[in-house]
A and B are shown apart, each in its own frame.
Chain A
Amino acid sequence: MYEQLSDDELFAEVVRRRSAGEPVGAPLGSLVDRWARPARYVISKIQASYGRGSPADADELFQDAVGKFLDRGLDQFRGVSEQMPGRSASPKTFFLRIVKHVAIDFYRRHREELAAPPSDPDDAMEEPPSEVARAVEAGKRREERAEAQELYWSAFARLQQEHPKEASAWELYHHEDVEDHEECARRLNISVVNSYKRVSRAQAYLKLYLLDLQRESHGEEA
């Protein structure tokens, strides 16, 4: 029923329904179906860029991109198309950009465990069970690491709140890779001794906050 509509008209229908609180599934489905092929092409190029990926990933990524397009893309699109006429002027191009970002994000997050040799997407088979088990195991480790890192960033947020000077020295020295007290001192307009002192105070407080947070989060699980 939507075949006679152009992309723009179909897109306008999705936007209209959405703002009217009506279900958008049908027109959105037809719209993204039209874009499925270019989307898969973009995904395959990102896969090639990261030297990995399977058709199964591509499926998941496409669905993910549709979700993102619906979640925030519809609202962002208007702003972007006004700001950058030409480049992202069509909803299709905008959708493909979302596809691109979803794919890059996916392969960044799955860097370590997907060290399998790059496969030609045309030859890829279903993953054998041992591969699945390995991926599950790797996923678990990634989750634990992610949890630890999350607590680290919470500890850092607390440092920023309670000891902002120490936090900005730490941020510069470590998070922003300056790793040089003379440079830190110059940028913060403090003495080199002070830079040492702030970074070392930050280290102590971060450890104490991190340990508190870890005990708290374990306490909640128990």
Chain B
Amino acid sequence: MIDVLSRYSTRRTVLTAAKSSPGEVLEAAGDLLRRGSKVGTEGVETALRGLGRPQVEAWLKAQKPQALQPVLLRAAEEAVEVALDGGEEAEMWRASALEGLAARDRAASATRALAAWEALHGELQGEAAQLRDRYLSALGTLDSSLRPRARWFIPLNPQRRQERDLLEPAEQDTAWWFSARADCDDLVATWTGRPQTLPPHLQDCSDCRSDVADAALVDAPPRRHLSADDLWRLDMGLMTADERTKLDAHTARCGECAQAVLALEEGDEAIEEALDMDAEEAGVGRAARTSRAPVAHRPAAARHPEQREVLEERRDFRVVLVRERQRVRLLVQPLAGRAVTAAVFLSPGRPSLKPSHGPEGIAFDLTTASSTGARSAHLSVQAGNETLERDFSF
């Protein structure tokens, strides 16, 4: 603590050093202003009075706050390495990560000093005022994107708490790089393991509770199941030997994927049978196939064929009523590649039935309407300049 405190106390020398640049003076002044109760603010006002308007404006012009983004992201990685490395390099990571946080903090100090400077000299005007606003809003954007990632800095918490406690209370919350998640040290252990009993902090802190819950998927990671594409390539014989080995290892342990592979084979048999049935029906005896398709095995669809009734045929579209067992659908099929819109109204003033768009066109399911006693509806179709308005029954 003494260390950090004395580090800021020595910042006072920057205020009066002849070689200090305006930016250095602003940062040092802000460092002291933001920690006034702990380190005092002597010399700050004199130093700020000594900064001329052109100097301040030139400094503003040179600011690139967005350059802090990569600095902080790198610091975040380094901070996590402090926890993960565990070796001799951990302290090196820590020092480097803290340097990144200090860079963000210096920008906060400069901002604070700039406000104090304006209070003494009068507000910046015109282009300089615009530059100031842009600078402040860039810092705001940076903070709102990085503050939610403060957990990355938890491994630096002992140092961050020291820094936070030196700041004036009103400054602490804004300085999220020092203060956000500064008491969440217990969370680090959950990154690499699942503690048997949760320490009190992890039960009480809502941020930590949701972090633990939201990251739980990693503790029981999803397996790499066979994708639809994997199955397709397996079926088509397009898998490499290596892929096959991995696949076999997976299906040996995963019932779901094993079932899918089995279904592929059963599907093949079904295809053979279906082809046989069609061939028989066509009267083309296939000598090559053994008769594997008993007549009793007729597909259900064969006994309940779909009935299609064309209600309307126009140049640009066709309207078809499709009945299949208990189901009734109205299809509006675009014909000439023109965009077609359609609506079906069961009664005037009610909204249209919800259409679904499939390869056959626009479909309206009338099954529910039919089962509730409706027998007719109004159809409205628009294709280019052509429109159709008609009632139909189903």
Binding site for B on A (CB under 8 A): 22-23, 25-26, 28-29, 36-42, 44-46, 48-50, 55-56, 58-59, 63-64, 66-67, 70, 80, 83-84, 92-93, 96-97, 100-101, 103-105, 107-108, 111, 121-122, 125-126, 148-149, 152, 155, 170-171, 174-177, 200-201, 203-208, 210-212, 214-215, 219
Contacts and interface: CB of A to CB of B under 8 A. Distances in A.
A173 B262 CA distance: 26
A83 B192 CA distance: 49
Of A25, A58, A63, A126, most B-chain CB atoms within 10 Å: A25
Contacts of B256: 108, 111
Nearest to A132: B368
A200 B192 contact: yes
21 contacts: A22-B337, A23-B334, A23-B337, A37-B302, A41-B302, A46-B266, A46-B270, A49-B267, A55-B324, A56-B327, A63-B358, A100-B268, A108-B256, A108-B260, A152-B217, A175-B222, A175-B224, A177-B223, A204-B192, A207-B191, A208-B80
Interface in B160-207: 190-193
Given A41-B301, A108-B260, A211-B214, 8 more contacts: A29-B360, A37-B274, A96-B275, A101-B228, A105-B228, A125-B326, A176-B249, A203-B218
Contacts of A64: 358
Contact of A50 (B263, B301, B359): B263
B266 A175 contact: no
B214 A96 contact: no
Contacts of A56: 327
B382 interface: no
Interface residues of B, number: 73
B271 A100 contact: yes
Nearest to B336: A23
Contact of A210 (B193, B214, B263, B264): B214
B335 interface: yes
A175 B249 CA distance: 11
B360 A84 contact: no
A41 B299 contact: yes
Interface stretch (B49-57, B146-154, B385-393): B146-154
B366 to A, nearest CB: 12
A130 B352 CA distance: 24
B300 A42 contact: no
Interface in B259-299: 259-260, 262-264, 266-271, 273-275, 277-278, 299
Contact of B360 (A41, A66, A122): A66
Nearest to B190: A207
Given A55-B300, A55-B327, A101-B235, A149 B151 contact: no
Q: Is the interface of A mostly helix, strand, loop or mixed?
A: helix
Contacts of A122: 300, 303
A52 to B, nearest CB: 12
Q: Which 8 A-B pairs have the closest CB atoms?
A: A41-B299, A38-B274, A40-B301, A45-B270, A100-B267, A204-B191, A175-B224, A207-B215
Nearest to B361: A25
Given A122-B300, A126-B326, A42 B151 contact: no
Given A25-B335, A149-B217, A36 B327 contact: no
Interface string B350-382: 000000001111000001100100000000000
B266 A45 contact: yes
Contacts of A200: 84, 192-193
B236 A84 contact: yes
Interface string B319-351: 000001111000001111100000000000000
Nearest to A218: B148
Contact of A211 (B215, B228, B260, B301): B215
Contacts of A121: 300
B273 A41 contact: yes
Contacts of B218: 152, 155, 203, 206-207, 210
Nearest to B222: A149
A190 to B, nearest CB: 17
B152 A208 contact: yes
B304 to A, nearest CB: 8
A38 B278 contact: yes
A34 to B, nearest CB: 9
A2 B215 CA distance: 58
